[in-house]
Amino acid sequence: MDGQSLERYDVTLIGGGPVGLFGAALAGLHGMKTKLIEALPHLGGQLYALYPEKWIYDVAGFPKVLAKDLVAQLVEQAMRYHPTICLEETVSDLEALPDGAWRLYTNRDVHETRTILITSGIGAFTPRKLPAANAERFEGTSIHYFVPPLKTFTDQRVVVVGGGDSALDWALALTDPAREVILVHRRDEFRGQQETLRQFSAHPKARIRVWTEVRDVAGTNRLEAVQLINHQTKETEWIEADAVVAALGFHSNLGPIKDWGLEFHGSSIVTNEAMQTSRPGIYAAGDVAYYPGKVKLIATGFGEIGNALGHIRGYLHPGHKGGLPHSTNLKVEREG
Ligand SMILES: Cc1cc2nc3c(=O)[nH]c(=O)nc-3n(C[C@H](O)[C@H](O)[C@H](O)COP(=O)(O)OP(=O)(O)OC[C@H]3O[C@@H](n4cnc5c(N)ncnc54)[C@H](O)[C@@H]3O)c2cc1C
């Protein structure tokens, strides 16, 4: 940096999954100047990227909740305290400043913060691309790796590619708005839940093509057709299609965070009972954090983030004893 001064935050969360979002709400509630940096264009982490239409049954206070609805509630809760949110920024480098604060470098910007709370889960996601000719021309418009709202597919002929849980979930969910759903898988066995496969197969709008891949896609202004190839017979065929949902999985990678001098256990960051990492002022919570006996659940992450922020509060204000006061005792704006 050239000495230019940056706005300094009390806490910067790296990752806007459920744990980072709840962290932003709690940090704001307890008066910390908060920033949250997320690599994806959307908040919600795995819930948004991997299973937005799945029901979750084990989050306190919700007998059952769709993943996308839980994300919406978490975003609303966080936004009450006006955190600074930076989307489509992947944190890569860390610099220690002489006064104990930190600089974080992303693909787009530089951020300054007194403490860091790593909530990066299983890492930044990149979707596995559809290995079909001309696919890039339609990515984001009619070839989807992150599925837009289901009503986008109303009356469409949709090709879903993949054989895992995501592909089966999407295929089944799309039978509602779509005119026809063609599930294409390069093997004849599906890794996803057999009950979902059974429900999909029984649906009148469903078609299944096994031993098959999408080889090419075509259209003028929008997608109009995809070419399928059967690996057993080597036959090719063009079929009409308005959209492709490629559910081929995601690469996830903690990337350069691995080089920050933190202690790791596999691909998780080792923390102590205060959720502090091996470097002062850097904490971790959620799926990325490890300690003996760790269980990777949303509920666990919500507890860990409260614990971490209690200790961050003590770190920022050495006069305070650790922990967080009960929210019922706080004089905060409760309306809205
Ligand atoms: C199919 C499926 C079903 C599940 N069902 C349940 C369930 O029913 N109940 C339950 O409790 N749990 C369930 N889980 C697990 C649950 O989703 C995770 O425990 C939870 O998402 C962890 O939240 P997190 O915020 O720690 O991490 P994540 O959700 O992984 O979010 C981390 C975020 O950090 C971002 N990020 C990563 N690296 C960077 C970086 N360098 N810079 C900027 N941003 C970065 C990522 O893009 C991501 O958005 C399920 C998981 C899957 C895959």
Q: Would you say residue 1 lies in a domain?
A: no
Task: Please report whether residue 335 resides in a domain.
Answer: no
Whether 188 and 277 map to the same domain: the answer is no
pLDDT at 330: 81
Task: Please tell me the number of Cα atoms within 13 Å of 240 on its side-chain side.
Answer: 4
- Quote the number of domains for the chain: 2
- Of 207, 227, 248, which residue constitutes the final position of a domain? 248
**Do 66 and 142 lie in a common domain?**
no
Give per-residue pLDDT as tens, 287-329: 999 999 999 999 999 999 999 999 999 999 987 776 888 888 8
Does 23 fall in a domain?
Answer: yes
Residues 6 or more apart whose CB falls under 8 angstroms from that of 126 comprise 250, 251, 252, 253
Instruction: Kindly state whether residues 37 and 110 are assigned to the same domain.
Output: yes
Q: Is the pLDDT of residue 170 over 70?
A: yes
- Distance (angstroms) between ligand 1 centre and the Cα of 42 equals 13
The domain in which residue 261 lies consists of 8-125+251-329
Same domain assignment for residues 26 and 38: yes
Q: Which residue has the higher pLDDT, 137 or 331?
A: 137
Do the domain assignments include residue 2? Answer: no
> Is the confidence at residue 333, as pLDDT, over 60?
no
Q: Could you tell me if 71 and 151 lie in one domain?
A: no
**Averaged pLDDT score across all residues of the chain:** 93
Average pLDDT of the segment spanning 208-219 = 98
Token look-up 């919406």 returns: 72
**Residue 334, pLDDT above cutoff 50:** no
pLDDT tens per residue, range 49-79:
878 878 899 999 999 999 999 999 999 999 9
62 and 89, same structural domain?
A: yes
- The predicted-structure confidence for 87-118, as pLDDT tens digits, reads as follows 999 999 999 999 999 999 999 999 999 999 99
> Is the same domain home to 68 and 91?
yes
Question: Do 207 and 270 fall within a single domain?
Answer: no
Q: Which atom of ligand 1 is nearest to the CA of 55?
A: 8
Closest approach atom of ligand 1 to CA 289: 26
| 28-37, 81-90, 141-150, 284-293: least confident range | 141-150
Res. 136 pLDDT band, cuts 50 70 90: very high
Last residue of a domain, one of 213, 230, 248: 248
Give the residue-averaged pLDDT of 34-61: 90
In a domain, residue 336? The reply is no
What is the pLDDT, as a whole number, of residue 50? 79
CATH code assigned at 52: 3.50.50.60
Residue 295 lies in a domain: yes
- pLDDT for 186 beyond 70: yes
Whether pLDDT at 9 is above 80: yes
158 to 1, 133, 140, 246, 254: CA distances (angstroms): 49, 18, 14, 10, 33
Among 217, 248, 279, the domain boundary falls at 248
Per-residue pLDDT at 124: 80
The separation between CA 249 and the C-alpha centre of its own chain, rounded to angstroms, equals 13
The phi, psi pair for 23, rounded to 5°, reads -60, -40
pLDDT at 336 over 80: no
CA of 44 to the centre of ligand 1 (A): 8
Co-location of 265 and 171 in the same domain: no
Atom of ligand 1 nearest to the CA of 254: 38
* C-beta separation of 335 from 51 below 8 A: no
**Same structural domain for residues 87 and 22?**
yes
Assess whether 111 and 256 both reside in one domain.
Answer: yes
Give the Å distance between the CA of 35 and the centre of ligand 1.
Answer: 19
Pocket of ligand 1, beta carbon within 6 A: 14-20, 37-40, 45-47, 50-51, 56, 58, 90-91, 119-125, 165, 255, 257, 286-287, 296-299, 301
Mean pLDDT calculated for residue range 197-219? 97
Mean pLDDT of 2-31: 92
pLDDT confidence of residue 269: 97
Torsion over CA: 139, 143, 147, 149 (sign):
positive
Closest atom, ligand 1, to C-alpha of 122: 30
Question: 143 and 102, same structural domain?
Answer: no
pTM, entire model: 0.82
* Domain membership flag for residue 27: yes
- Position 165 confidence tier, pLDDT thresholds 50, 70, 90: confident
Question: What pLDDT is stored for residue 332 in this prediction?
Answer: 66
> Residue 67 Cα, ligand 1 centroid: separation in angstroms?
11
Confidence of residue 249 (pLDDT cuts 50, 70, 90): confident
Question: For residue 316, is it within any domain?
Answer: yes
